[in-house]
C-alpha cells in the first residue's frame, strides 16, 4: 500500500515536470508524460492485459486502460494521466473506506470475551472461553467481560449490559441470577457456574447473527448488481458508436473530437463505485441497529420494516409485562387457600405465565405424587386428578366445554375458574400490568404513519379490550388459540397494500409460527431466549416495545440512504454521459463522476451507522 | 453440505457479485453467497461434488479478482 502511494506520488511529480518541460522541449515532455503514465497506471495496464488473456473483458482495469490509452493517442497527455491518477486515488479511498467500516463494525461488535478465569482446585486458571465446560466455576473480576452464560453463585455486582441491549442503566445481579456473556462486570467480584458452552452462549450467537445478516441481500443490492451487469457493456458499446459513427455521418466532425467524447463514456462506465456503496449502507445499518440492541437478521428485512403498514402485537410479554399476579380469589364451597392450592396443583406442570403466578401465590412445595392424569387443553386450561379428585382449572371456555355453570361477570384480568369433580368452586383473578413504555411505542408508531396497530391475544375479550383502549390500538382480537393467531394473521396479511408489509411483534414463546408467517417477525426480549432468536427476522434484545418504532425508523433511514446513493450516483453518471455526448464537458468532469461520486456515496453510507436516541 | 471461506483480498464489490454469479452456475451448487463486507463465501452444494466445486470456485476467484484467495473460515 505504502509503496503504491509513493509510486503514484512520484508519478504525479513527474507529471508536473512534464507539463513544464513540454513548453520548451516537446519531445522530452512526451517522454516524461509516458514515464509518469506508466508509474501511475502501470499496474492497471498490467491487470487489464492479464485479465483479457484470462477471458474477462469489461473489467474496470480494462476500461480505465482503454480510456487513458485512448487519451494518450489523441495527445491529451495531461488528462489521460490525471484520469489514471484520480482513479488510483479513488480506489485507495474505497479500499480505505471499506476497511474502515469493516473495522468499525468489528469494534461495534467487540463483545467477544478474550479469556475466562476458571477455578481449578482453589486456584484461578486463565483459559480460552471455548475451552470452558458447562458446570465449571468461573470468576469475573470488576471490569471484566462475562465470558460465558452462567449463573451467579457468589457475590453481587452491577452489570453493564449495554453491549447486548443498548440499555445504559446497569443491572444488579446477586446469587441465583443469570448473567449473559458479553456483559461487563462493573464493580463487584462474582463467582458463577457456567450454564452454556461458548459456542452456544449469547455472545457467539449474537456475533454469528450480525455477521451472517448481510448474507441476505436486499432488493436494492440485487438491483444494483444486476444493473452493473448491463450498465458497463451498454456504456462501452455506446462509447464505440459515439467515437466512430458521428464522424462518418456528420460533415466537419473529426475523429479526434468524438473519440475524446467517447473516452468520457469509458471513464464513467465503471460500476464499482455504485455497487460498493449499497452493501456498505446496509452493513452500516445492521451495525448501528445492533448497537441499540436491535438485531436485524438480513438486509432484506430493512426493506420490509421500512414498508410496514400494519404492526401486530402479541399482548402477554410484549405490550404487558407478562408477570401475572393473583389479584382476587373468590371461593365457593371451599376456602380461599384451598382454591389456590387446588389450582396450583392442577397447573403445576404448565409453564404458562398464568400457572406460574398461581404457583407463586400458593407458595408452598407441590407434592407431585398427588397429581395424576394431567391433560392440558391448549387455549382452555388444565384438567388433572389431585388426590383422586378431578380438578378443572381454566377459562370460561373450559367451563362451557365441561358444561359447568360459572361466574360470568365482567372482570378486568385473566380469570381462572376452578371446578372440583365438575362442581364450580370459584375463580381466581389474575392481572398483568402494561409495560411502562408501551404507550410511548404506540404513539411513536402512529407518528411513523403505521396504518393499523393491532393486538392479538389468547386472553379474554375484557382484558384485551381494556389494554387496547388504554394504549389506543386500532383493533384487538381476543380469545385466540395459537392456531387462530396464524389464521388472523393471514387475514391481516391480505389487507396490506401491494408494497405494504406486516410486522408481528411477539416474545417467541408459543408464537413461533406467527413470527415466521409475518413479513417481518420481531421477537422481543430475545436476550437468552433461543426460540425467539431462531424464529424471528428481527430480534429486540430488551423487552421494550419502543424499540419497534426505533427499528422501523432505522430501516427507513437505511433505505433512504441507499436510495439517495442509487439516485445520486446514477443521476450524476447519466448527466455526465449526456454532457459528454454533447461535448460540453471534459475528462476532468467525467473522472469526478466516477471517483467523486463514489467517495460521496461511501461517506453517505456511513451515516447509516449513526443512530440517535429518541 | 455448507462450506464457509474467507476471500482474502476481496476489494471490489462488483467482483464479489461476479464471483457469486459464477459460482452459482457451477454444477452441484445449490446456493452460493459472497458477502462483500465480511469477505465471506458460503457454498451450499452436493456432498460428492464438493471437492470439485471448491476447486472450481478457487479458479473463479483468482480469475475475477487476481491476488485474492480462499482461506478456511
Residues A221, A279 contacting (CB under 8 angstroms): yes
Higher-pLDDT residue of A501 and A529 is A501
What single string gives the DSSP state of each residue in B13-53? HHHHHHHHHHHHTSTTEEEEEEETTTTEEEEEE-TTTHHHH
DSSP-derived 3-state class of residue A117: strand
Task: Say what percent of chain A tops pLDDT 90.
Answer: 12
Report the gap between the CA of B46 and the closest CA in chain A (Å).
20
What CA–CA distance (Å, rounded) separates A441 from A319? 9
Fold of A321-433: Calcium-transporting ATPase, cytoplasmic domain N (3.40.1110)
pLDDT in tens, A382-412: 999 888 889 999 988 889 888 888 888 777 7
Task: Map out the domains of chain B with their CATH numbers.
Answer: 2-72 (3.30.70.100)
Model confidence band, residue A263 (pLDDT cutoffs 50, 70, 90): confident
* CB-closest option in B14, B35, B42 to A272: B14
Q: Given an 8 Å threshold on Cβ–Cβ distance, is B14 in contact with A102? A: no
Which one of A44, A224, A275 makes the best mutation probe of the B interface by having the most chain B beta carbons within 10 Å?
A275
Q: What is the pLDDT along chain B (73 residues), one digit of tens a residue?
A: 788 888 887 777 778 888 888 899 888 888 888 888 778 888 888 888 888 888 888 888 888 877 788 887 6
User: Of A104-113, A152-161, A242-251, A504-513, where does mean pLDDT reach its minimum?
Assistant: A104-113
- Whether residue A75 is predicted with pLDDT greater than 80 in this model: the reply is no
pLDDT for the residue A555: 94
Interchain CB contact of B10 with A (< 8 Å): no
Q: Given an 8 Å threshold on Cβ–Cβ distance, is B38 in contact with A279? A: no
pLDDT in tens, A505-535: 987 677 778 888 889 999 887 665 666 677 7
Which one of A49, A91, A214, A218 makes the best mutation probe of the B interface by having the most chain B beta carbons within 10 Å?
A214
- Whether residue A326 is predicted with pLDDT greater than 70 in this model: the reply is yes
Measuring CA to CA, which residue among A1, A91, A73 is closest to residue A37?
A73
pLDDT in tens, A107-146: 766 677 888 899 888 888 888 888 888 889 999 988 888 9
For the four alpha carbons of A148, A151, A154 and A156, in that order, the dihedral sign comes to positive
Number of CB atoms found within 10 A of residue A127's CB: 17
Measuring CA to CA, which residue among A234, A207, A50 is closest to residue A130?
A207
Interchain CB contact of B25 with A (< 8 Å): no
What CA–CA distance (Å, rounded) separates A357 from A611? 39
What CA–CA distance (Å, rounded) separates A80 from A19? 13
- Whether residue A101 is predicted with pLDDT greater than 80 in this model: the reply is no
CATH 3.40.30.10 assigned to A133-196: no
Residues B70, B6 contacting (CB under 8 angstroms): yes
Q: Given an 8 Å threshold on Cβ–Cβ distance, is A272 in contact with B11? A: no
Interchain CB contact of B35 with A (< 8 Å): yes
Those residues with Cβ within 8 angstroms of residue A381's Cβ, 6 or more apart along the chain or in another chain: A392, A393, A394, A395, A397, A398, A416, A417
Residues A229, A207 contacting (CB under 8 angstroms): no
Q: Which three cell numbers stand for residue A376?
A: 392440558
Measuring CA to CA, which residue among A367, A323, A317 is closest to residue A345?
A367
Residues A268, A573 contacting (CB under 8 angstroms): yes
Q: Select the highest-mean-pLDDT range: A263-272, A512-521, A544-553, B11-20.
A: A544-553
Strand partners, A452: A310
- Whether residue A559 is predicted with pLDDT greater than 80 in this model: the reply is yes
Instruction: Kindly list the domain boundaries of chain A, sorted by start residue.
Output: 2-105+216-280+559-609, 133-196, 293-320+434-556, 321-433
Higher-pLDDT residue of A173 and A58 is A173
| ipTM > 0.85 for the complex | no
- Whether residue A84 is predicted with pLDDT greater than 80 in this model: the reply is yes
Number of CB atoms found within 10 A of residue A483's CB: 12
Mean pLDDT of chain A: 84
- Positions of A marked active-site: 314
Interface A–B counts its CB contacts (< 8 A) at 53
pLDDT for the residue A561: 94
Place of cell 383473578: A429
What CA–CA distance (Å, rounded) separates A138 from A158? 17
Superfamily of chain region A293-320+434-556: HAD superfamily/HAD-like (3.40.50.1000)
Interchain CB contact of B33 with A (< 8 Å): yes
- Chain A residues interacting with chain B (CB cutoff of 8 angstroms): 47, 50-51, 54-56, 59-60, 94-95, 98, 101-102, 105, 211, 214-215, 217, 225, 228-229, 271-272, 275-276, 278-280, 283
Compare all CA atoms of chain A with the CA of B36 and give the residue at the minimum distance: A279
Report the gap between the CA of A215 and the closest CA in chain B (Å).
6
* CB-closest option in B33, B37, B63 to A102: B37
pLDDT for the residue B50: 86
Amino acid at each position: 500500500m505504502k509503496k503504491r502511494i509513493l509510486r503514484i506520488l512520484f508519478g504525479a511529480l513527474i507529471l508536473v515536470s512534464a507539463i513544464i518541460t513540454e513548453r520548451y522541449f516537446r519531445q522530452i515532455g512526451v517522454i516524461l508524460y509516458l514515464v509518469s503514465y506508466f508509474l501511475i497506471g502501470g499496474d492497471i495496464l498490467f491487470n487489464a492485459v492479464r485479465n483479457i488473456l484470462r477471458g474477462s473483458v469489461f473489467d474496470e482495469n480494462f476500461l480505465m486502460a482503454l480510456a487513458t490509452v485512448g487519451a494518450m493517442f489523441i495527445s491529451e497527455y495531461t488528462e489521460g494521466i490525471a484520469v489514471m491518477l484520480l482513479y488510483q486515488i479513488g480506489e485507495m479511498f474505497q479500499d480505505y473506506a471499506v476497511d474502515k467500516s469493516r473495522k468499525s463494525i468489528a469494534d461495534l461488535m467487540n463483545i467477544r470475551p478474550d479469556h475466562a478465569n476458571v477455578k481449578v482446585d482453589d486456584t484461578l486458571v486463565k483459559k480460552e472461553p471455548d475451552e470452558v465446560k458447562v458446570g465449571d466455576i468461573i470468576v469475573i473480576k470488576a471490569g471484566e467481560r462475562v465470558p460465558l452464560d452462567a449463573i451467579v453463585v457468589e457475590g453481587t455486582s452491577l452489570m453493564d449490559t449495554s453491549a447486548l441491549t443498548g440499555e445504559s442503566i446497569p443491572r444488579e445481579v446477586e446469587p441465583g441470577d443469570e448473567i449473559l456473556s458479553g456483559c461487563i462486570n462493573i464493580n463487584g467480584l462474582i463467582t458463577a457456574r457456567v450454564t452454556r458452552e461458548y459456542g452456544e452462549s449469547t455472545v457467539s450467537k449474537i456475533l454469528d447473527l450480525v455477521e451472517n445478516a448481510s448474507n441476505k441481500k436486499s432488493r436494492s443490492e440485487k438491483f444494483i448488481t444486476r444493473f452493473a451487469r448491463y450498465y458497463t457493456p451498454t456504456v462501452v458499446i455506446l462509447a464505440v458508436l459515439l467515437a466512430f459513427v458521428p464522424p462518418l455521418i456528420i460533415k466537419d466532425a473529426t475523429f479526434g473530437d468524438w473519440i475524446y467524447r467517447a473516452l468520457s463514456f469509458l471513464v464513467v462506465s465503471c460500476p464499482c463505485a455504485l455497487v460498493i456503496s449499497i452493501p456498505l449502507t446496509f452493513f452500516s445499518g445492521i451495525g448501528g441497529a445492533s448497537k441499540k440492541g436491535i438485531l436485524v437478521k438480513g438486509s432484506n428485512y430493512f426493506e420490509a420494516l421500512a414498508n410496514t403498514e400494519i404492526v401486530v402485537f402479541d399482548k402477554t410479554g410484549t405490550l404487558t409485562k407478562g408477570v401475572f399476579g393473583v389479584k382476587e380469589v373468590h371461593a365457593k364451597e371451599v376456602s380461599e387457600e384451598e382454591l389456590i392450592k387446588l389450582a396450583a396443583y392442577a397447573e403445576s406442570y404448565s409453564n404458562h405465565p398464568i400457572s406460574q403466578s398461581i404457583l407463586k401465590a400458593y407458595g408452598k412445595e407441590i407434592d407431585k405424587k398427588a397429581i395424576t392424569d394431567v391433560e392440558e387443553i391448549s387455549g382452555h386450561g388444565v384438567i388433572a386428578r389431585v388426590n383422586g379428585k378431578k380438578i378443572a382449572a381454566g377459562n370460561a371456555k373450559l367451563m362451557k366445554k365441561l358444561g359447568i355453570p360459572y361466574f360470568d361477570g365482567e372482570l378486568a384480568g385473566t380469570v381462572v375458574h376452578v371446578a372440583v369433580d365438575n362442581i364450580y368452586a370459584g375463580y381466581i383473578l389474575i392481572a398483568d400490568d402494561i409495560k411502562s413504555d408501551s404507550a410511548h411505542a404506540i404513539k411513536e408508531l402512529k407518528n411513523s404513519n403505521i396504518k393499523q396497530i393491532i393486538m392479538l391475544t389468547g386472553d379474554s375479550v375484557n382484558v384485551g379490550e381494556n389494554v387496547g383502549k388504554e394504549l389506543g390500538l386500532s383493533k384487538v382480537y381476543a380469545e385466540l388459540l395459537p392456531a387462530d393467531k396464524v389464521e388472523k394473521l393471514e387475514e391481516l396479511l391480505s389487507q396490506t397494500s401491494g408494497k405494504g408489509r406486516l410486522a408481528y411483534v411477539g416474545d417467541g414463546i408459543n408464537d413461533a409460527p406467527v413470527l415466521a408467517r409475518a413479513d417481518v417477525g420481531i421477537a422481543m426480549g430475545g436476550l437468552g431466549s433461543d426460540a425467539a432468536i431462531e424464529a424471528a427476522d428481527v430480534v429486540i434484545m430488551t423487552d421494550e416495545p419502543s424499540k419497534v418504532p426505533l427499528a422501523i425508523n432505522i430501516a427507513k433511514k437505511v433505505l433512504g440512504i441507499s436510495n439517495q446513493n442509487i439516485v445520486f450516483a446514477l443521476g450524476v453518471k447519466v448527466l455526465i454521459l449526456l454532457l459528454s455526448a454533447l461535448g460540453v464537458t471534459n475528462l476532468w468532469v467525467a473522472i469526478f463522476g466516477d471517483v467523486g461520486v463514489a467517495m460521496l456515496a461511501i461517506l453517505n453510507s456511513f451515516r447509516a451507522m449513526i443512530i440517535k436516541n429518541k | 453440505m455448507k462450506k464457509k471461506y474467507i476471500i482474502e483480498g476481496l476489494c471490489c464489490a462488483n467482483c464479489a457479485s461476479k464471483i457469486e454469479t459464477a459460482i452459482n452456475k457451477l454444477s452441484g451448487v445449490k446456493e452460493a453467497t459472497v458477502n462483500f463486507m465480511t469477505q465471506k463465501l458460503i457454498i451450499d452444494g452436493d456432498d460428492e461434488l464438493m471437492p470439485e466445486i471448491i476447486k472450481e470456485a478457487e479458479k473463479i476467484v483468482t480469475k475475477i479478482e487476481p491476488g485474492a484467495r480462499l482461506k478456511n473460515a
